[in-house]
Copies of this chain bind each other. A is one copy, B any other.
Amino acid sequence: MFEAAELGRSVSKADYKQAEPDLRLALLQAQRQARHRGLPVILLLHGVAGAGKGEMLNQLLEWLDSRGVQTHVFWDETDEELQRPRWWRYWRKMPAAGNISVMFGAWYARLIEDFQQQRIDDDGVSAELERIREVEQMLIDDGALLVKFWLHLPQDEQARRVEKRRKDPQSHWHMAPETAKAAEHYEAFTDLATRVIRETDTGHSPWYLIEATDRRFRDLTAGRTLLRAIEARLSSADPAEPIRTSHAPALPESASAQVTILDQVDQSHAIDRPEYKKRKKALDPAINRLGWLGFEARHSVVVVFEGADAGGKGGAIRRLTEALDARLYQVIPIAAPNDEEALHHYLWRFWRQVPRDGYWTLFDRSWYGRVLVERVEGLAAEGEWRRAYHEINNFEAQLAEHGVTVLKFWLSIDPDEQLRRFEARKETPYKKHKITDEDWRNRERWDDYKAAVNEMVIRTSTEYAPWHIIPANNKRYARIEVMRIASEAVAQALGDDDHQRS
């Protein structure tokens, strides 16, 4: 594959001088249009050691307007990063709409290094390549432009440079220690690189192989390639939404005629106050203890609360947090995104809230808004909410792989119970504020929501993050259920046998 980048191409000083002004002007204009169009651009740089990624980027940044360009290197993983799922460190650096994030190596450098350090084997590489394809597709589907440059040098040229730099007192500063050794592993590196490039060179995010032997050729090629990529993206419509095929059982057309999972919820469950007190008295200390056990074991927990308005999310969250120590959890209420969040992929603001090892994060509503309110209210296009099932499963899988316990509760009430609660809220002084016109509007969409919930549960109830449908007409029953399920799940994750089932 790399033969294509060993043709010894070069550009004369004269040609370079002649070409530079136009290229620079065109790049600035393309960058401005991209900003104007709100296009997020990810420029990913990797390649053989000594090819001059830094030099080349310096040249690109000289041509571009540095406003709106952020450069990110991923050398040492900080403990805040190590204590979260692996992709968290990349998500936090994703460009806002209209900006350019230059990423050095990023997930590719880590994959190759993990393999070279024998932290992962061939299967590990395959799995990570699949993950990479999925995440890159997710970003592209969301409208981002992903440009991947691979800078290549022939083996002898690399050896020459590494040697030259080692001797040069001025430039040895930008030789990371492993770079010096790179020459020895040239073949192993390019073999793996060949596989990585081949398997991640997709139609939407192609790799651009850049011959880096001649500096002028390298920089001019990089500049022109970036220019072409931005111009092509701007001139094309947003990528077509791939409508993923449905694995959900076909439901009758008319929403009202649909019998959904929610129709099968047994609302007869109820417990009386004495029973409730008894159960809670046992669960409170058990959960408090599990919170601290988890903290010591650096085990974190993500709990999602969804449900119809007045379904009792707030009450269930409060009962759980009463048991937990306030120092170990955060409750994140999800409303409309703020403008910084709105400039990113819709999952970005949830990635931001992923807890560090040892802590709990409780989401009062969540990323499932994408396939619930955004779907029903038409705030997300069909392609957007359809592919969200897959994206969400991917997100939760990454949490689970990191060892996070993911709990998802749907608090289910029937329309009559909701009506009773709406009426009741008007009576209770400190609950009055909780009932709004929107609640009444949503109520009219009951059947649409029912269908959306049904599909959501079918598509996103995974073995690593199953949905728990809680019959919630009886608040006491629902609250105890949430506490019981949460405590048992965490106890199991911690391998804690003394946890007394309640």
Contact = CB atoms under 8 A, between A and B. Distances in A.
Contacts of A174: 288, 292, 325
A120 to B, nearest CB: 25
Contacts of A340: 338-340
B102 A57 contact: no
A173 B71 contact: no
A70 B73 CA distance: 31
B430 A25 contact: yes
Interface string A57-89: 110011000111111010000111000000000
A94 to B, nearest CB: 15
B28 A318 contact: no
A326 B54 contact: yes
B339 A62 contact: no
Dominant secondary structure at the A interface: helix
A364 interface: yes
A245 interface: no
Nearest to A45: B326
Contacts of A394: none
Contacts of A433: 32
Nearest to A328: B73
B54 A325 contact: yes
Interface residues on A, range: 35 or more
Given A24-B430, A66-B317, A429-B25, A289 B170 contact: yes
Nearest to A434: B65
A104 B327 contact: yes
A423 interface: no
A383 interface: no
Most chain-B CB neighbours within 10 Å: which of A70, A326, A338, A340? A326
Interface string A192-235: 00000000000000000000000000000000000000000000
A333 to B, nearest CB: 4
A321 interface: yes
Q: Which of A24, A71, A340 has the most CB of B within 10 A?
A: A71
B170 A71 contact: no
A69 B66 CA distance: 37
A442 interface: no
A415 interface: no
Given A339-B338, A340-B339, A70 B330 contact: yes
Contacts of A70: 330
A112 interface: no
A29 interface: yes
B430 A318 contact: no
A265 interface: no
Given A58-B326, A327-B54, A339-B339, A29 B430 contact: yes
Contacts of A69: 331
A326 B61 contact: yes
A435 interface: no
B327 A67 contact: no
A173 B293 contact: yes
B289 A71 contact: no
Contacts of A429: 25
Interface in A19-54: 24-25, 28-29, 32, 54
Contact of A66 (B24, B325, B333): B333
19 contacts: A24-B430, A32-B433, A54-B326, A57-B326, A61-B326, A66-B317, A66-B318, A66-B321, A66-B331, A67-B333, A68-B333, A71-B329, A78-B79, A102-B326, A104-B327, A173-B293, A338-B338, A338-B339, A338-B340
Given A58-B326, A173-B289, 20 more contacts: A25-B429, A32-B433, A54-B327, A57-B326, A58-B322, A58-B324, A58-B325, A61-B326, A62-B318, A66-B333, A67-B333, A68-B333, A71-B330, A78-B80, A79-B79, A104-B327, A170-B288, A170-B289, A173-B288, A173-B293
